[in-house]
A and B are shown apart, each in its own frame.
Chain A
């Protein structure tokens, strides 16, 4: 198996280089045969990388301990699913996985008829990135290194990674990271082809949005994994690696918004180029952070020389991209104008400012320890309090914009109109705030502001939909439901965006509630005792012990009653894995939209009494649910067919052309 894998990788590397060369020859007019040959080489690279991945999976499943990687990350008693996920548990394996997704995407892009014009330029760019990863796999971090004397059993997987969250989190995150290579490659191709219009944006819209969705989900699954597995009651620690995945999400979100200005008004071309370059660069920067050990992180794959390679490659490709932009800057000059200071166009600029500003603040916080060490010689930590305090106001400001910007007209808006549009949403928001203060009893200013903004965003969005329905009803004479459905389904891009905004608002509610109102308690119980925490009455019967697969489990069954309502039994566990010294504390959670009841078994004493830590985390479920709402919104917006196209274009002063309504 090891040989198949190694040979597969070297063939893939060779073919990857060949494809780049052949594309180059085709582009210098050496004939069509080179294009066909180059395309085949792309498919070949994908095929041989796939063979290597299959070889690795086979080795992992069958427990071929002659391969060092298999020994390091699996053991015989590891459940089958985690033997498979061991592919991305370690350094070399996860690089292999990354490269695999990348070459598959490159093959998909190359095979597509839709992209025909762009292929000779976009494919080689994707292949250059692929070749870099294949180079790493062949020469720097080889996954198929063999051991001279294979041990009878492997070292096993880190218990923390044995969780369903770890099956799905890396996959979604990698898909998101790697996916952004596609719009990047097309942007560069557009520049090389001297075709700076919005064609590359249109062709890659699906890719960008889907990558963005995967990045969103990857972050959420990671947060959820941390929440149910790490046992500290939180879900986001602003660890450098978490930041590394949030930054491209923020700049990617900015990009998704600002391309609309280019599509509609043929402006901001340079800015869009810069945004996609930065986003792509940040996805690579994340990989560099994880694998270099330059910053202290819980995610680090350990110190390795990989970091330097990533740093050099990332810098080179970013510099090359920026050079290309600078070289073609004349093509990117904008001919169009803004017609007013207040317009949808200018509101997108504000949105971009905040999203990119937030990404910048996170970047700054992440690298500050290095800056500080270099300047004053002191390596200072930059952690949760910093990022919360800096990003909370920025986050609230852009939530507010989410309520305002969609309602501002393209081209030209004025204050009277805006004031009229927002009268009702503001009244509702203020009523909502009064209700929260006097009936809900919420007095913390931060939460109050956040919730009020959320109410405002929801009501202004609903108002806008209602207005559309009313106009439609009047014009067509349809009834309310029909016109609502038709309105939404014929402008799916717009309303899909609204759905996504609602998902984000739900997440903001969740983040606010869980950060501002969380509480915790530590209780020691003797067997048979009952205690009251908040609204909950908990009774403890005693500790029990059992063994499962590769672990010994000490657990307690807790009966939980909330306001005389039986919430059922909770099984709280402390798990001892055969391969790890430290036990894992598995929380038990009762999750409702109001709050999560989160219990941990932290220890026990000789007399059979047990110590529990109880967290009450309000509204966390809103965060996860918001993620699913975003999925619905993206699918709604992207579903092919009528209604997913772009709206009217504004060419110049007074001219309006309607874009094709069918995508």
Chain B
């Protein structure tokens, strides 16, 4: 019974922990660099280099455009949408979270969950709690306890 409880508690704990961690996505420092990181420089499709990383003139121009659009009060989503409309989804540095592309996002976590389940199953096969009878488990204090404790300490010191 205790074992079942322990199992439940640890499972809940792991689940809660992972949900907590999964729900926060790292917010980057500024919208500007966020957008620059979300778009591939149209001149660098072959290397799929982001606008942020790219040093050539096209990238510089797009960075400037983003800056102006932000200054005009456009939001991140709007700005990214204008570029997607212009160049297609290929310009995004990460797949959009819909349709088939959702697979990209979900699979890693599915993989980890499956791995976790496997570990759990393996553990429940491997764990053999030694069945100690209660009467045996509680030993009475004996006369030699002090002696044994001292011996143990003595032995232990050899390993220090």
B10 with A364: CB separation less than 8 A: no
CB-based nearest B residue for A362: B108
Q: Which of A479-508 contact B (CB under 8 A)?
A: 486, 490
Residues of chain A within 8 A (CB-CB) of B92 are 380-381
Interface readout for B105-139 with A: 1 if CB under 8 Å, 0 if not?
10111011001100100110011111000000000
Stretch at the interface among A132-140, A148-156, A336-344: A336-344
Residues of chain A within 8 A (CB-CB) of B104 are 364-365, 368, 372, 380, 382, 386
- Chain B interface residue count, CB cutoff 8 Å, equals 66
26 contacts between A and B (CB under 8 A): A232-B55, A233-B52, A296-B45, A298-B49, A338-B123, A338-B128, A346-B123, A349-B122, A357-B108, A357-B111, A361-B112, A365-B104, A368-B103, A371-B103, A376-B100, A381-B92, A384-B37, A384-B94, A389-B25, A389-B105, A390-B108, A392-B25, A393-B24, A517-B29, A520-B32, A522-B67
Q: How distant is A585 from chain B, measured CB to nearest CB, in Å?
A: 6
A338 with B30: CB separation less than 8 A: no
Given A380-B92, A385-B38, are A339 and B128 also a contact pair (CB < 8 Å)? yes
Residues of chain B within 8 A (CB-CB) of A385 are 37-38, 93-94
A397 with B128: CB separation less than 8 A: no
B22 at the binding interface (Cβ < 8 Å): yes
Add 12 more A-B contacts to A393-B21, A518-B28 (CB < 8 A).
A237-B50, A298-B49, A337-B127, A346-B119, A380-B90, A381-B90, A382-B93, A384-B52, A386-B95, A397-B17, A515-B28, A654-B130
Residues of chain B within 8 A (CB-CB) of A300 are 47
A356 with B115: CB separation less than 8 A: yes
Do most interface residues of chain B lie in helix, strand or loop, or is the interface mixed?
Answer: helix
B93 with A383: CB separation less than 8 A: yes
Chain A: number of interface residues, binned into ranges:
35 or more
Interface readout for A427-453 with B: 1 if CB under 8 Å, 0 if not?
000000000000000001110010000
Q: Which of A379-421 contact B (CB under 8 A)?
A: 379-386, 388-390, 392-394, 396-397, 400, 414-415
B26 with A388: CB separation less than 8 A: yes
Q: How far is the CA of A476 from the CA of B160 in the complex (A)?
A: 9
CB-based nearest B residue for A616: B29
CB-based nearest B residue for A490: B160
B60 at the binding interface (Cβ < 8 Å): yes
Q: How far is the CA of A382 from the CA of B107 in the complex (A)?
A: 14
Identify the 8 closest CB pairs spanning chains A and B, nearest first: A383-B93, A361-B108, A357-B112, A386-B94, A393-B21, A296-B48, A385-B94, A338-B126
Q: Which B residues contact A (CB, under 8 angstroms)?
A: 3, 6-7, 9-10, 17-18, 21-22, 24-30, 32-33, 37-38, 40, 45-50, 52-56, 60, 67, 89-90, 92-95, 99-101, 103-105, 107-109, 111-112, 115-116, 119, 122-123, 126-130, 153, 156-157, 159-160
A237 with B53: CB separation less than 8 A: yes
A582 with B56: CB separation less than 8 A: yes
Q: How distant is B63 from chain A, measured CB to nearest CB, in Å?
A: 8
Residues of chain A within 8 A (CB-CB) of B40 are 381, 383
Given A342-B6, A475-B156, are A383 and B111 also a contact pair (CB < 8 Å)? no
A339 with B55: CB separation less than 8 A: no
B47 with A297: CB separation less than 8 A: yes
- Among A380, A415, A522, residue most surrounded by chain B Cβ atoms (within 10 Å): A380
- Among B103, B108, B130, B156, residue most surrounded by chain A Cβ atoms (within 10 Å): B108
Given A340-B127, A394-B112, are A368 and B28 also a contact pair (CB < 8 Å)? no
A519 at the binding interface (Cβ < 8 Å): yes
Q: How far is the CA of A291 from the CA of B124 in the complex (A)?
A: 44
Q: Which of A150-209 contact B (CB under 8 A)?
A: none
Q: How far is the CA of A393 from the CA of B22 in the complex (A)?
A: 6
Residues of chain A within 8 A (CB-CB) of B49 are 237, 298
Residues of chain A within 8 A (CB-CB) of B46 are 296
B26 with A372: CB separation less than 8 A: no
Residues of chain B within 8 A (CB-CB) of A415 are 6, 9
Residues of chain A within 8 A (CB-CB) of B123 are 338, 341, 346, 349
Given A360-B108, A393-B22, A446-B24, are A381 and B94 also a contact pair (CB < 8 Å)? yes
B119 with A350: CB separation less than 8 A: yes
Within 8 Å by CB of A486, from B48, B53, B160, lies B160
Within 8 Å by CB of A516, from B22, B29, B127, lies B29
B90 with A379: CB separation less than 8 A: yes
Residues of chain A within 8 A (CB-CB) of B28 are 515-516, 518
Residues of chain B within 8 A (CB-CB) of A394 are 108, 112
- Among B17, B92, B160, residue most surrounded by chain A Cβ atoms (within 10 Å): B160
- Among A394, A400, A517, residue most surrounded by chain B Cβ atoms (within 10 Å): A394
Residues of chain B within 8 A (CB-CB) of A515 are 26, 28-29
B105 with A390: CB separation less than 8 A: yes
Residues of chain A within 8 A (CB-CB) of B112 are 353-354, 357, 360-361, 394
Q: How far is the CA of A390 from the CA of B53 in the complex (A)?
A: 20
A230 at the binding interface (Cβ < 8 Å): yes
Q: How distant is B138 from chain A, measured CB to nearest CB, in Å?
A: 18
Within 8 Å by CB of A353, from B60, B94, B115, B159, lies B115
A565 at the binding interface (Cβ < 8 Å): no
Residues of chain A within 8 A (CB-CB) of B56 are 582
Q: How far is the CA of A296 from the CA of B103 in the complex (A)?
A: 20
Within 8 Å by CB of B47, from A298, A353, A582, lies A298
Within 8 Å by CB of B48, from A233, A381, A475, lies A381
A234 at the binding interface (Cβ < 8 Å): yes
Q: How distant is A457 from chain B, measured CB to nearest CB, in Å?
A: 15
Residues of chain B within 8 A (CB-CB) of A383 are 37, 40, 48, 50, 93-94
A382 with B60: CB separation less than 8 A: no
Q: How far is the CA of A337 from the CA of B128 in the complex (A)?
A: 6
CB-based nearest B residue for A386: B94
B89 with A378: CB separation less than 8 A: yes
- Among A342, A376, A381, A516, residue most surrounded by chain B Cβ atoms (within 10 Å): A381
CB-based nearest B residue for A445: B24
Within 8 Å by CB of A397, from B9, B18, B99, lies B18
A66 at the binding interface (Cβ < 8 Å): no
Q: How distant is A152 from chain B, measured CB to nearest CB, in Å?
A: 31
A661 with B95: CB separation less than 8 A: no
A472 at the binding interface (Cβ < 8 Å): yes
B100 with A372: CB separation less than 8 A: yes
Q: How distant is B99 from chain A, measured CB to nearest CB, in Å?
A: 8
Q: How distant is A400 from chain B, measured CB to nearest CB, in Å?
A: 8
Q: How far is the CA of A467 from the CA of B22 in the complex (A)?
A: 34
